[in-house]
Structure 1
Amino acid sequence: MPLRFLAFLEQIPYPEIHILRMFGSYVLIFRGEAVYATPSPIRYCPLMYKLLKEVGGPAASRLLEDFRMEREIESREGLLRLINEIILSQGAYRPDRPLNVCEANVSFGASEIMMDALSGHMIDAAALVMNGMGSVLTFTPGTTQGVVQRMTGCFFTTPHSLLLDRCLEEGVYPVFPFTGSIDPLASAREALRLGIRRFAVTTAASYNSRLDEIACLENSGSVIYRLALCATAVDRPTAAKMSDHGDIVWSCASSHVREVVAPRAIAQVGLKIPVYIMTQRGFELIKPRLKAIDPQFDAETVIPVTGGRRPVICHRGNRLEMIPADQIRDSCSDCPSPLI
């Protein structure tokens, strides 16, 4: 493509548009303001409860109560208000936000797992999604966590020229620098084209249905770890693809994932929102994260297996412990509700 044409494309002003997902609701951000939210299909999510309590104060408490009581209009208005007053006002979508951060926000988040896998030299890159830039490749622990931070799911975004410059300065590789497209399959292909042979890629929501296509890219000279996210409301065929082709699968508020994926999992981390480990290499990928959380936890003694003896690794105070799945009496006392 001629350089003059590329320069011309760069000058076309995009309206700032992002679509994120929070509490199961898709939220439209237009020119820096959250303006529309779809009805949320769930009333309660322990992870969102924790995050909103941390960042939102009284406004978050009111919002959580509106969700719990199924006040649709109030909850949608409250969600928009909280995003505008708390999340956007703190610079979460600003192009000058930090892009190199090693602080873990959740115990078993995808970016946290990839961050620690990079630190442990298990992978050489991560293919993930960044608001304001779309699909990107990261190569360091700090940028892997930094480009995501507290993002709860980004499904559409438009590129920002300042953010592009900062990505290049930080060593973040935008796959679609002029359009901000989100395409994990294209990200995996680009990583391979660049000669990267060990990397992790995230897929979310309906894009999990293309996990088999990403799996087909792998050959004897490459390892592509596949992390399947944002499963709330996925259909049963998509859950089957996640089970067949994911290395690590996040259950979110999905009933199909719990029905289809869980029985085939060889290990699990977390109880409230189970993260299912589907392959031995998926278990190896998560080991650096387990060590970062609890240096005294010996993951080498854990034997991955399906069925009632499936190891479930969870928090007990500040420590991690392993419990066989069949010894957990009430595994869903604080889970997302309802499961859909």
Structure 2
Amino acid sequence: MSENEEDIHVIEAVGRSKIIIKNGNVAEVSVSRLRQCPLAKKFALPVNEITPEAVKANIEHRINSWGMCRPHRKISSTVDFVGFGASELISSGILSGTVDAAVLASDGAGTVIVTTPEMVQGIGGRMSGLVSTSPIPEEMDRIEKEGGVVLDRAHATVDPVLGVARAYKKGFSRVAVTVASAETATAIRDQFPETFIFGVHMSGITEADADRIVGAADIVTACASKWIWQIAGARALLQAGTAVPVFALTKRGRQLILDKIARSDRPVLVSGSKLPVYGPELPDPLL
């Protein structure tokens, strides 16, 4: 990034509220389509009533507490923020040997390839849907120093398809990737059929796109998507959680979740049931 370019990061969070961060500060927050979300109530700075002011305060907390969109951003963590989030499951997969490389989107670096559970969790654990980002050299330096690969240092491009291609080219064979669109999911499945695909940030997608991503992904998060709830729920082999669940759509997706449970000391209820199972508190409304 040249001296004349602005440092701009665009993310979506809490029901696809669009947040623009300029030079390390929250510049714009759009109105979310959600009124409440059980997951948002559990954030480090809870968002109990979803308003632009509350979302802004949450994002500012992320910036101030772990450096999101700033040069000192933390890139490693051993803390699980949710029970069955994509980063938590991928980290567990690396520990078990099911996954040997993860393709993720990071503010300040764009698409990256990482191979340690700590970096997977550090980059992805508290990251919302990254739309676009500006390169932060200090952060990219740390990622590379700790063994990660930055896809595009000059522009911090977000391109999961190219990231997966690079991972295989580098010799990895058990690649996991997070995707936020049906187009990306189907492109990766068509070009790299062995890839472990996680569908994330699904709130507000269309019925057609939900059907496509359910057909391509191994695991998908329900978020606040009524179509993911209905389509993935009906086809799932396993549902983890009842408020903002994840659905395993393949046997290896189910096994990854079961392996995560096996590694945990948390008590778990296992019960056969027709899926989906709706909990008493859901995102409101389902989009």
Shift of 1:114: 0.5
Residue 151 of structure 2 corresponds to 175
- The yes-or-no answer on 1:189 pairing with 2:173 is no
| Selected match of 1:214 from 182, 185, 188 | 188
Q: Distance in 2 between matches of 1:109 and 1:272?
A: 13
**Residue 87 (str. 1) matches residue 78 (str. 2):** no
Q: Residue 198 of structure 1 aligns with which residue?
A: 174
The match for 1:337 is 284
Q: What's the TM-score once normalised by structure 1's chain length?
A: 0.79
The answer for unaligned runs of 5 or more in structure 1 is: 1-9, 68-74, 295-317
Greater relative CO (CA pairs within 8 A, separation 6+): 2
Contact 1:99 1:170 in 2 (8 A): no
In structure 2, the residue matched to 1:32 is 24
For 1:17, the equivalent position in structure 2 comes to 8
Superposed CA deviations along residues 303-332 of structure 1, whole A, max 9, x for unmatched, are xxxxxxxxxxxxxxx40111222499x723
Q: CA separation in 1, counterparts of 2:55 and 2:246? A: 26
Which residue in the other structure is 1:312 paired with? none
Partner residue, 2:240: 269
Query: For residue 139 of structure 2, what is the aligned residue in structure 1?
Result: 163
Trace 1:143-162 onto structure 2 (pairs within 5 A).
Answer: 143-162=119-138
Q: Residues 242 and 261 of structure 1 are in contact (CA less than 8 Å); yes or no, is this contact kept in structure 2?
A: no
Tell me: CA distance 1:82–1:125, structure 2 relative to 1, closer, same or farther (3 Å). closer
Alignment counterpart, residue 323 of structure 1, candidates 253, 263, 271: 271
Question: Who is 1:105 aligned against?
Answer: 81
User: Deviation per CA, 1:41-68, whole angstroms, max 9, x where unpaired?
Assistant: 11111111111xxx33xxx5xx623x3x
Considering fraction of residues, name the structure with more helix.
1
Q: Which residue of 1 aligns with 2:256?
A: 285
Contact residue 107 and residue 293 of structure 1 kept, 8 A: no
SS at match of 1:45: coil
> Aligned partners of 2:171, 2:126: CA distance in 1, in Å?
30
Whether the 8 Å CA contact 2:30–2:52 is kept in 1: the answer is yes
Could you list the structure 1 runs, at least 4 aligned residues long, displaced by more than 4 angstroms after superposition.
10-13
Which protein shows a greater Rg? 1
Deviation at 1:101, TM superposition (A): 1.7
* 1:224-282 superposed Cα distances (whole Å, 9 cap, x missing partner): 10100111000111101111111001010001112222111111111111211100111
**Cα distance per residue 1:118-151 (max 9 Å; x no partner):** 0111111000111110100001111111122311
Alpha-carbon spacing, 1:321–1:91, altered in 2? closer, same or farther (3 Å): closer
Q: Percent of aligned positions with the same letter in both sequences?
A: 27
| Structure 2 letter corresponding to 1:30 | K
Q: What is the Cα-based RMSD across aligned positions, in Å?
A: 1.9
The unaligned stretches of length 5 or more in structure 2 are none
Could you say if the C-alpha distance between residues 22 and 282 of structure 1 is closer, same or farther in structure 2, counting changes exceeding 3 Å?
A: same
- Structure 2 partner of 1:45: 37
Q: Is the 8 A contact 2:235 2:249 kept in 1?
A: yes
Correspondence for 1:230: 201
Structure 2 letter corresponding to 1:338: P
**Which letter does structure 2 place at the counterpart of 1:339?**
L
* Distance (whole Å) between structure 1 residues aligned to residue 95 and residue 227 of structure 2: 33
- The amino acid that maps onto 1:33 is N
CA contact (8 A) 1:35 1:80 kept: no
**Which residue pairs with 1:135 in the alignment?**
111
**Aligned with residue 102 of structure 2, among 126, 129, 137:** 126
